[in-house]
Amino acid sequence: MGIYRLSLLLVLFVGVLHLSTAQTRSCARTCNVFYRCSPYYTELVYAVVDGVCRVYQNGCIFGNENCTRVNQCQSPLSSTSAEKCKEFCPRRCPSGGQEVCGWFPYVSGENGENSDRYIAFANRCLLDQYSCQNDIAYAYEPTLGPCP
């Protein structure tokens, strides 16, 4: 019994020592988010996010997304080619779920006017599928519920 107690005490001591010397990871504001990215400037960036191809309007918006991820202790995204990304387009989506509204900014006409298109989708998967298959980026996170 004495050896058992000694072993148990040793294991507990090492465990407490390990916990007390473990470094806590603080990610708060380790990356400064770019500001004033133009959602109308189009230079598409492709990345696979959580197993799904995501199309970003431009490098500035992509950089902001990466900063947000780093500040939330998530791993940063890597850009990839459109062809590689499209291998991860959603093929099938559920019919139900939370309705989302995607904002698709674009420049229209010969005058180069900034325009907006809002499209409602039955769920986020359908929004990602539409974006990926049509090489069109929605700006920022979609809003929940119907479009304005």
pLDDT tens digits for range 52-65: 999 999 999 999 99
CA 103 to chain centre: 16
Whether the pTM exceeds 0.85: the reply is: no
Record the tokens describing residue 26, joined without a space: 């603080």
Give the residue with greater pLDDT, 21 vs 96: 96
pLDDT at position 15 is 39
- pLDDT band of residue 25 (cuts 50, 70, 90) is low
Closest of 102, 54, 106, 105 to residue 77, by C-alpha? 54
Which residue type, as a one-letter code, is found at position 112?
G
Which residue type, as a one-letter code, is found at position 84?
K
